[in-house]
């Protein structure tokens, strides 16, 4: 349900995979570079998607769900 799981971590993992870093600082610098390269619109869409998942979770009383089959506008 967390935006980090669905958006942030995959955004960081793909460009950084199979690379070796000499220090923790190098990891931080490269991670920050990737985060800054992500357009603001992607973060905005992430939050909209998170709200949809949040509403789905509430509507189903926390039960497992998959996909966007619930329409909250009806």
Which helix (H) or strand (E) is 9 found in, with range? helix 9-16
6 pLDDT more than 90 = no
Number of domains in the chain: 1
Using only C-alpha atoms, the chain has a radius of gyration, in whole angstroms, of 16
Chain segment 15-26, per-residue pLDDT in tens: 888 899 999 999
Does a structural domain hold residue 72? no
Q: For all residues of the chain together, what is the average pLDDT?
A: 82
Does a structural domain hold residue 68? no
Chain segment 31-48, per-residue pLDDT in tens: 999 989 989 999 899 888
Kindly indicate the confidence band of residue 12, based on its pLDDT and cuts at 50, 70 and 90: confident
Residue with tokens 């998959």: 66
pTM for this entry = 0.60
Does a structural domain hold residue 67? no
């Amino acid at each position: 349900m967390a935006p980090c799981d669905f958006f942030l971590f995959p955004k960081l993992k793909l460009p950084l995979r199979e690379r070796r870093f000499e220090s923790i600082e190098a990891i931080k610098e490269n991670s920050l570079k990737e985060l800054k390269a992500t357009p603001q619109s992607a973060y905005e869409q992430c939050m909209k998607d998170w709200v949809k998942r949040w509403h789905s979770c509430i509507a189903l009383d926390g039960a497992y769900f998959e996909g966007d089959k619930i329409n909250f506008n009806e």
